[in-house]
Amino acid sequence: MGIRSIVAAIVALLKPHRETAMARTVHKLDDVFVAGGQPSLTYVQRTDVDVEPILAKAIATPNQLVSLSGPTKCGKTVLCRHVLRDREFIWIEGGQVANAEVLWNKVAYKLNKPREVTKTASTDSSGTIGAEALLKAEAAHSRSSGTERRFELDPMHTAIDHLVTNKVTLVVDDFHYLPQEARQAFLQNVKGAIFEGLKIVLLAVAHRGQDPIKTQIELVGRFANIAVPPWTPNDLRAIPEIGFGLLNVSCPEELLRRLADEAQQSPFLMQTFCREICSDLNVQETRLAPLGVPHDYPLAALFERIAKHSGQPTYEKLVAGPQARKQRKARPLHSGDAADVYEATLRAVAATGPASPLAFETLRTSLNKLVKEKVPATHEVTSALKNLAKISKQMGVDQGIDWDDDSRTLTIADPYLRFYLRWMVRRERDEAPALRLEP
């Protein structure tokens, strides 16, 4: 075989590899694992629960207000933005709204609506200036060629008119953050416009999804609450399976299972886990050569690091309890140290897993095992739980702890707080300091 034939054979042999390399898509880590943002590459369409088509159908249904509810950090915002990706929409953060007037001002601003307009009419006109039902006369003066008037726009009416006319969907995220009066006023504002075709989606925590219909009973028949189902371990596993694959990284099966089990049913936490693992392995984009996550990767150290940077601010506010005139009584614990009723209660909650929801009797049993002497009486514990719930409400409805005195049940809505209690507060853990995975 001549030299040319040999070269031609080598070129032919290398051509598929060169074409494959050229066709390889390089993904940046920031685009693959997006914690707290809108993932596209690792967006998981949970076909087993059909929540995406159910939400899309509800939004498409005419003359209907839609409430999308679910636990905090369960992906409501991501889901809603994904479903609305082909629609025009205006997004308002409920936590930034003090009253209905502020809300409509924000909507009008995002729609680029002016706060006032100037109209000029000839002197022989009747003085009407179009459809001025949306305008309020503020001042007027005359010119030689006519009369010039300045009108202040009513942001609510101009915004609703634009939204209906242009089929723009209005989304209010964290609707439960609005004060009660603001929620009532807003729903009263839009009640008639929904009949005219206004599309509205309200996002709220699970136990507040029915609030709109409770506030405005007249919305019966024009209201749909879509509940986001909890994420299963299989749902959560899809995030690293997709993301690690895009980065040309392989992950041991046991590690994938543990990540899904520890993610507190939160895709946010799972995205954080995966991003941190890649950062630890110095994977910033799709690798040319495959890389495996080591079998002895220290998962426990990862979890403790993430817990410390996520749930600690909330926990510190809770464990401090309400302001007290005198120092609280310290109770000796079996561990050898001491804690007041608030710290003891939180440590007892953590010792359950933490479980959520948590029945009072289960918490009481955990507290009895924790405290060596001077175990708090039932009324002391329930008083502490009420105060913890009050502190949580001041931080935000979906933060911290919620105590239902009627059912005597404790709920920890925030997955980051649950994760912190599990990895930074709980004194007895199932894991060793660093989880070792067998090859």
pLDDT digits (tens, 9 = 90+) for 59-112: 999 999 999 998 888 899 999 999 999 999 999 999 889 999 999 999 999 999
63 with 205, same domain? yes
361 with 390, same domain? yes
137 with 164, same domain? no
User: Do the domain assignments include residue 341?
Assistant: yes
Give the pLDDT mean for 385-399.
83
Question: Is the predicted pLDDT of residue 351 greater than 90, yes or no?
Answer: yes
198 with 321, same domain? no
How many domains does the chain fold into?
A: 3
Residue 60's nearest CA partner among 209, 162, 167 is: 167
Residue 341's nearest CA partner among 357, 322, 360 is: 322
- By three-state DSSP, how is residue 434 classified? coil
User: Do the domain assignments include residue 261?
Assistant: no
147 with 57, same domain? no
- Amino acid present at 364: R
pLDDT confidence of residue 326: 80
- By three-state DSSP, how is residue 401 classified? strand
Q: pLDDT band for 398, please (50, 70, 90 cuts).
A: low
pLDDT in tens, 29-55: 999 999 888 999 999 998 888 999 999
- C-alpha to C-alpha distance for 215 and 210, rounded to whole angstroms: 9
CB-based contact 287:248 (threshold 8 Å): yes
| 377 C-beta neighbours (distance < 10 Å), count | 10
- C-alpha to C-alpha distance for 395 and 199, rounded to whole angstroms: 30
Residue indicated by tokens 């986001």: 228
- Amino acid present at 29: L
- Amino acid present at 99: N
The sign one gets for the Cα dihedral 241, 242, 243, 249 is positive
- Lowest mean pLDDT of 63-67, 212-216, 273-277, 413-417, name the range: 212-216
382 with 342, same domain? yes
Instruction: Determine how β-strand 338-339 pairs with β-strand 409-412.
Output: unpaired
Give the pLDDT mean for 402-420.
90
149 with 56, same domain? no
Q: pLDDT band for 401, please (50, 70, 90 cuts).
A: confident
pLDDT confidence of residue 39: 94
| CB-neighbour burial class of residue 234 (10 A; exposed 0-12, middle 13-18, buried 19+) | exposed
Torsion of CA 429, 430, 433, 437, to 10 degrees: -160
- C-alpha to C-alpha distance for 69 and 195, rounded to whole angstroms: 23
User: Do the domain assignments include residue 239?
Assistant: no
Strand order in the sheet with 146-153: 116-121, 146-153, 135-143
User: Do the domain assignments include residue 133?
Assistant: yes
Question: Please, what's the b/e burial string for 77-97 (b: 16 or more CB within 10 A of its CB; e: otherwise)?
Answer: bbbbebbbeeeebbbbebeeb
What letter does residue 285 receive in the DSSP assignment? B
Question: Is the predicted pLDDT of residue 134 greater than 50, yes or no?
Answer: no
Q: Look at phi and psi of residue 117 and say left if phi exceeds 0, alpha if psi is from -120 to 50, else beta.
A: beta
- By three-state DSSP, how is residue 267 classified? helix
pLDDT confidence of residue 176: 86
pLDDT confidence of residue 147: 66
User: Do the domain assignments include residue 122?
Assistant: yes
222 with 131, same domain? no
Give the pLDDT mean for 374-395.
91
Beta strands in 39-115 (DSSP E): 65-69, 89-93
Q: pLDDT band for 24, please (50, 70, 90 cuts).
A: confident
Token pair belonging to 438: 């067998």
- C-alpha to C-alpha distance for 239 and 251, rounded to whole angstroms: 12
Which of 227, 256, 275 terminates a domain? The answer is: 227
214 with 322, same domain? no
Percent of the chain beyond pLDDT 70? 85
Question: Is the predicted pLDDT of residue 197 greater than 60, yes or no?
Answer: yes
196 with 338, same domain? no
pLDDT confidence of residue 251: 96
139 with 189, same domain? no
- C-alpha to C-alpha distance for 85 and 24, rounded to whole angstroms: 27
Q: How far apart are the first and last CA of the chain?
A: 47
pLDDT confidence of residue 210: 86
The answer for residues whose C-beta is within 8 angstroms of residue 159's C-beta and 6 or more apart is: 104, 107, 108, 111, 113
Owning domain of residue 130: 116-155
Percent of the chain beyond pLDDT 90? 62
User: Do the domain assignments include residue 315?
Assistant: yes
Q: pLDDT band for 434, please (50, 70, 90 cuts).
A: very low
User: Do the domain assignments include residue 402?
Assistant: yes
- By three-state DSSP, how is residue 400 classified? coil
User: Do the domain assignments include residue 273?
Assistant: no
Beta strands in 144-222 (DSSP E): 146-153, 169-173, 199-204
Beta strands in 340-404 (DSSP E): 358-359, 401-404
Token pair belonging to 50: 């059909």
CB-based contact 283:291 (threshold 8 Å): yes
CB-based contact 314:414 (threshold 8 Å): yes
pLDDT confidence of residue 397: 56
pLDDT in tens, 140-193: 343 444 567 777 788 999 999 999 999 999 999 999 888 889 999 999 999 999
pLDDT in tens, 201-248: 999 988 788 888 888 888 888 899 999 999 999 999 999 999 999 999
Strand partners, 66: 201, 224
194 with 323, same domain? no
